[in-house]
Amino acid sequence: MSSVTLEHVSKRFGNAKGVAEVDIHIESGEFFTFLGPSGCGKTTTLRMIAGFYFPNEGRIRFGGQDVTSLPPHKRNTGMVFQNYALFPHMTVAENIAFGLQVRKMPKHEIKERVTKIQQLVRLDSYGDRRVDQLSGGQQQRVALARALVIEPQILLLDEPLSNLDAKLRDETRQEIKRLQMELGITTIYVTHDQAEAMSMSDRIMVMQGGEVQQIGAPHEIYHQPLNRFVASFIGETNLLEGVVESVERGIVRLRITPEVVLSGLVQNASPRCKLAAGEKTTVSIRPETIQEAADSAGENIVKGTIQFAEFTGSSTQYVTNAGAFSLRSMMISQGKRVKQRGEEILLHIPHEHVYFVG
Ligand SMILES: Nc1ncnc2c1ncn2[C@@H]1O[C@H](COP(=O)(O)OP(=O)(O)O)[C@@H](O)[C@H]1O
Ligand SMILES: [Mg+2]
């Protein structure tokens, strides 16, 4: 297993920016995810790690070794592509063995390794089956087996679940996580699906427009987003803009509208956020932190009219119109009556859940 370091890595395609200034250190054995919308540079970054693209600037290291200009077959990485790239006319065992034959490994050793890896991905009895006779989920496992059979130092996965239906995606993501933990292999995982990233990763790198927006553990990027993009891309949130009225004794007062002032804690601010009287800033408020208030006394109470109510059993999602803005909230059912469209509601936003994103 090996750590992976990217130092100021940039890649351009002609005049088009692929990715710029990527700086990361991935620990040995870590499950690390590149997350962002389509076109943000995830695949480009992964391909540079695999050696399919060479960076215009920067260095790439595996452990102490500089691999920046090494070709793919000298890097000992295993890669699973979005479309699997299997040989459809060959059997499962032949597909898995392919990389070992290319490496000219003795036949008996190939057989041993292929059998072992088929067990690991639970395809023991499928060795002689042609790949084009398998389901999507099984093909995905062949692709995974083929990447793992070479015993790579680093496993690279590019949107490996995107061709599977929802139920199979959930199962397969648990399967990948199980394998990764069992093997302890350094894994870099690419996805545009924030739920997938949150549930699988030790750390996540959020990207947009070829640039790194934030690197952190799932709970950090969810609760302490560095900017508006991260706050809105990860989970659901309410973004409200305002002007800072005052900053006193660790409390910021932010005017949202002539009627509404919200207070929050200075400590709950992105380091990039300017908190001084007169500055414009934006707050992120997660729907599940908003509560219904019994009366209008106290701070951070917003009065509004229900525009949309969706009861899901365990909870109700409300969209409340508060005049110049609306608020999305999610309330646990606990036997409470569901309010209907048109009813008035008082919402309380606890000040410890107001997060300043700049
Ligand atoms: N081979 C290429 N030639 C030209 N532009 C490319 C090439 N590969 C990627 N790009 C561009 O680089 C940017 C990042 O692409 P990519 O890494 O594939 O994004 P993602 O995997 O996040 O969807 C996009 O603007 C894309 O059009
Ligand atoms: Mg991609």
Q: Same domain for 85 and 200?
A: yes
Query: Ligand 1, closest atom to CA 11?
Result: 12
Query: Residue range 51-71: average pLDDT?
Result: 96
Q: Both 301 and 206 in a single domain? A: no
> Do both 211 and 141 map to the same domain?
yes
Same domain, 110 and 204: yes
Residues 17 and 54 in one domain: yes
Instruction: Tell me if 315 sits within 8 A of 332, measured CB to CB.
Output: yes
CATH number, domain with residue 29: 3.40.50.300
157, 282: one domain? no
Using the atom order of ligand 1, give the atom closest to the CA of residue 46. Answer: 17
Listed residues 229, 251, 276: the one ending a domain: 229
User: Which range of residues forms the domain containing residue 250?
Assistant: 236-356
Residue the block writes with tokens 């250190």: 25
Q: 213 falls in which pLDDT band (50, 70, 90)?
A: very high
- Shared domain for 164 and 263, answered yes or no, is no
Query: What is the pLDDT of the chain when averaged over all its residues?
Result: 94
Last-in-domain residue among 199, 229, 259:
229
Residues paired with 321 in a beta bridge: 305, 326
Q: Label residue 85 by pLDDT band (50, 70, 90).
A: confident
Q: Domain count of the chain? A: 2
d(CA 37, CA 192): 5
Between 31 and 164, name the one with better pLDDT: 31
Of the residues 173, 204, 229, the one at which a domain ends: 229
Q: Mutate which of 13, 82, 194 to test ligand 1's pocket (most atoms within 8 Å of Cβ)?
A: 13
Q: In 10 A of CB 154, how many CB atoms?
A: 22
Looking at the CA of 157, name the nearest ligand. 2
171 and 242 in a single domain? The answer is: no
> Which atom of ligand 1 is closest in space to residue 192's alpha carbon?
22
pLDDT digits (tens, 9 = 90+) for 266-296: 999 999 899 999 999 999 999 999 999 999 8
133 CA → ligand 2 middle, Å = 27
Which residue, judged by its Cα, is nearest atom 6 of ligand 1? 13
314-343 residue pLDDT tens: 999 999 999 999 999 999 998 889 999 999
Residue 320's CATH number:
2.40.50.100
Query: Are 166 and 269 members of one domain?
Result: no
Same domain as 215, residue 246: no
Same domain, 59 and 144: yes
Whether residue 3 is predicted with pLDDT greater than 90 in this model: the reply is: yes
Same domain membership, residue 176 and residue 63: yes
Residues near ligand 1 (Cβ within 6 A): 13, 16, 18, 36, 38-44
User: Percent of the chain scored above 70 by pLDDT?
Assistant: 100
Given a cut of 90, is residue 147 above it in pLDDT?
yes
Helices 136-148 and 166-183, interaxial angle, to 10°? 20
Of 304, 313, 314, the closest CA to residue 341 belongs to 304
Confirm if 84 and 139 have CB atoms less than 8 A apart: yes
Higher pLDDT, 17 or 262: 262
Cα 285–chain centre separation: 20
pLDDT exceeds cutoff 90 at 82: no
Q: From CA 156, how far away is CA 133, in angstroms rounded?
A: 26
Q: What is the pLDDT of residue 158?
A: 96
